[in-house]
Structure 1
Amino acid sequence: MKWMLRAVLAVAGIWALAWFFAAQYLKGAAEDWFAAQEAQGIVAEHGGLSVQGFATRLDLNVTAPHFAGTGWDWQAPFGQVLMMAWKPWHVLAVVPGGQKLTLGGQVLRLDTSKIEASLHMAPETGFPPREIRVEWPELTVSSDKGWTISTARVFGAAQATGDQALKLWLQADDLTLPAGSDLGGLGPKIAYLRFDARLPLAAPLAWEEEPVFEAYDLRTLDISWGSLEVEGSGMVTPDPMGQADGKIELRIKGWQALPDAAIGLGLIAPGMRGGLMGALEGMAQAGEDPAELVLPLVMKGGQMSLGPIPLGPAPYLP
């Protein structure tokens, strides 16, 4: 039995040595990454790096990470990048609350129990990305300008599919808007928001190349805000100028709130409320269900409109 004990000790010693070298490599790679950001003109600082998790994990701990660039600045108490030692293509990242984000001179504080992200890569040359998930439980964002927005949960995911496309999913629950955001009497709370889309790619995802999207196929858009319930789907493509071109069909319940919401957003003058309400009533009566209004969100020629309501310039697509 002594030979078995020797074999076990030898394997354990080899594994311990391998873990030590992997930990040193990970720490060095992290230092190089911070230096590379600095070389590109981005402030990338930290209060210390360490690797723990012997002998099955590689846990990179970053104390006081700080990144900044033109017009933005982000700081956090600490951050962690976690992976199993034998599966480096599956990475987890955790950042606590107490983060500070400065955008355009406005300081935002992000409070949450933690922000979790996971990255799955293919176990092949180059480790191409396959899926990323991010979750914020009970997130509150407070501004030094006096406003606050909060949500019970935000979840986002992006997944590469086998047919060379990117599938996107976004979900927000119990989103409480800043005070004064009561558009059209809808109230300050959005019960839920769901977004599901498929984006065909010009080439497979790779770290060294920016993704080029050929189209934006909106499979599902669900919003519940007060008396307003919206469901949408449609296809949008970039025009020669890069602006959205296409149509998304929206099915709207509680559509009677739309004129007041449009006034609150400054899209129409208060004197146009009666005419717009009459037009919407006529469209609803002409449909299959007067309680549900079907409106096209049209983006064409650089402009965007929701049925008879002009919304201004169409957005530019990445």
Structure 2
Amino acid sequence: MKRLLILIIVASVGWSAYWFIGATGVKTGFSRWFESRQSEGWLAEYDDLSVKGFPNRFDTTFTSLSLADPDTGVAWTLPFFQLFSLSYKPHHIIAVWPHTQTVAYPDQKIDVSSTDMRASLVVGASTLLPLERSNLVIQGLSVTSSADWQFKADNILLAAHHEPDTEATYRIALQADQIVPPVGIRLGTDNTLPNALSTIKADIIASFDQPWNRHAVEVARPQPTSIDVRLAKMAWGDLDLQAAGKVSIDNDGIPTGDITIRATNWRQIIQVARGSGQIPASVMDGVEQGLSLLAGISGNPKTLDIPLEFGNGMTRLGPIPIGPAPRLRLR
């Protein structure tokens, strides 16, 4: 009995020492990371950094956190930010955001509010902290920009898993419910479509020029080199859109490839475009006539199966040029 008691005491003392050494290492590591960013010209500040959770967790809390990258001009400020991990499983991290935070870009400031925002992150056993898998859950999201637009969503679930036997390829899944897009892309006056999209779903394989790890924050964001849309779906009132296809992306972020779109009750999206006032009526007339012809050929005037083609820096909807190709770059 006495030996057992001694064993318990020794184990308790050893585990306590392990926790305090680990907590000190966590705090020191974060402090040095902020010092390194400051030496590179970043704004990297916090009012307080604490590590709690004895004996089984490392609960790290930053208060009044501010980060700004001088190369991109992107700044992030929030009243607190928390990272939780089990002391015996430090590579599995839970991140928790506050109900309000601000992201500033050179051309606008974005205020973000949510009722709940948290993520689960599993990283590899390396000092680079390579992403293995992650899940982000957001509830009650509201995004308001100083550029006079707003976005809302009731629920968002975003998951990313590193594909086995690849260097920088990830499978990304998205589901969002009750999404209120910016006013500019809603239907203008006749309210044929509701303000909120009922659901958005996507299953995507994306490859990047480098892996997602801590260098993605410290140095530069990985840039996409190919996107394989296995299936993307959007339901908006009676309008149903589905898309699938693959594009490659060059060093300038210009895509080349085809995405096939199936649109049910597609005329409502024409009304959305007309109502936005962003496209001249004469152009919309030509687009509607061309799509009506394609729908008639398919045998179902309510459904369209058309390729969205990207090539030579341009975007075509079937045979109809609709403008320059988007530039897919992460800042």
Q: Indicate yes or no: 2:115 matched with 1:113.
A: yes
1:293 to 293, 296, 304: 304
Inter-CA distance 43–223: structure 2 relative to 1 (3 Å threshold): same
TM-score, normalised by the number of residues in structure 2: 0.86
Whether the aligned pair in 1 keeps the contact of 2:186 and 2:276 (CA below 8 Å) is no
Q: Indicate yes or no: 2:177 matched with 1:173.
A: yes
Whether the aligned pair in 2 keeps the contact of 1:237 and 1:246 (CA below 8 Å) is yes
Inter-CA distance 304–181: structure 2 relative to 1 (3 Å threshold): closer
Q: Deviations over 1:198-219 (max 9, x none)?
A: 1246777665687575522110
Segment drifting more, 11-20 vs 279-288: 279-288
Amino acid aligned to 1:149: F
Whether the aligned pair in 1 keeps the contact of 2:116 and 2:138 (CA below 8 Å) is yes
Match of 2:157 in 1: 155
Measure the CA separation in 2 of the matches of 1:225 and 1:8: 62
Q: Indicate yes or no: 2:92 matched with 1:85.
A: no
Measure the CA separation in 1 of the matches of 2:213 and 2:77: 28
Inter-CA distance 262–305: structure 2 relative to 1 (3 Å threshold): farther
Identity %: 30
Whether the aligned pair in 2 keeps the contact of 1:156 and 1:168 (CA below 8 Å) is yes
Whether the aligned pair in 2 keeps the contact of 1:181 and 1:188 (CA below 8 Å) is no
Shift of 1:155: 1.9
Q: How does 1:259-270 map to 2 (within 5 A)?
A: 259-264=270-275, 268-270=279-281
How many residues end up aligned between the 2 structures? 318
Measure the CA separation in 1 of the matches of 2:130 and 2:252: 30
Q: Deviations over 1:40-91 (max 9, x none)?
A: 2211110101110000001111111111234433211111110000001101
Gaps of 5+ in 1: none
Match of 1:217 in 2: 228
Match of 2:288 in 1: 277
Match of 2:203 in 1: 196
RMSD: 2.6
Q: Deviations over 1:102-122 (max 9, x none)?
A: 233533322212321121123
Q: Deviations over 1:21-52 (max 9, x none)?
A: 11011000010111111122211110101110
Measure the CA separation in 2 of the matches of 1:124 and 1:142: 37
Match of 2:132 in 1: 130
Amino acid aligned to 1:139: L
Inter-CA distance 236–180: structure 2 relative to 1 (3 Å threshold): closer
Gaps of 5+ in 2: none
Inter-CA distance 259–203: structure 2 relative to 1 (3 Å threshold): closer
2:186 to 176, 182, 186: 182
Inter-CA distance 5–288: structure 2 relative to 1 (3 Å threshold): farther
Whether the aligned pair in 2 keeps the contact of 1:228 and 1:255 (CA below 8 Å) is yes
Inter-CA distance 247–265: structure 2 relative to 1 (3 Å threshold): farther
Measure the CA separation in 2 of the matches of 1:183 and 1:263: 8
TM-score, normalised by the number of residues in structure 1: 0.89
Match of 2:47 in 1: 47
Match of 1:96 in 2: 98
Shift of 1:222: 0.7
Measure the CA separation in 2 of the matches of 1:208 and 1:37: 12
Report SS of the residue matched to 1:73: strand
Inter-CA distance 257–308: structure 2 relative to 1 (3 Å threshold): farther
Measure the CA separation in 1 of the matches of 2:86 and 2:251: 46
Measure the CA separation in 2 of the matches of 1:191 and 1:301: 35
Match of 1:250 in 2: 261
Whether the aligned pair in 1 keeps the contact of 2:99 and 2:113 (CA below 8 Å) is yes
Measure the CA separation in 2 of the matches of 1:191 and 1:77: 32
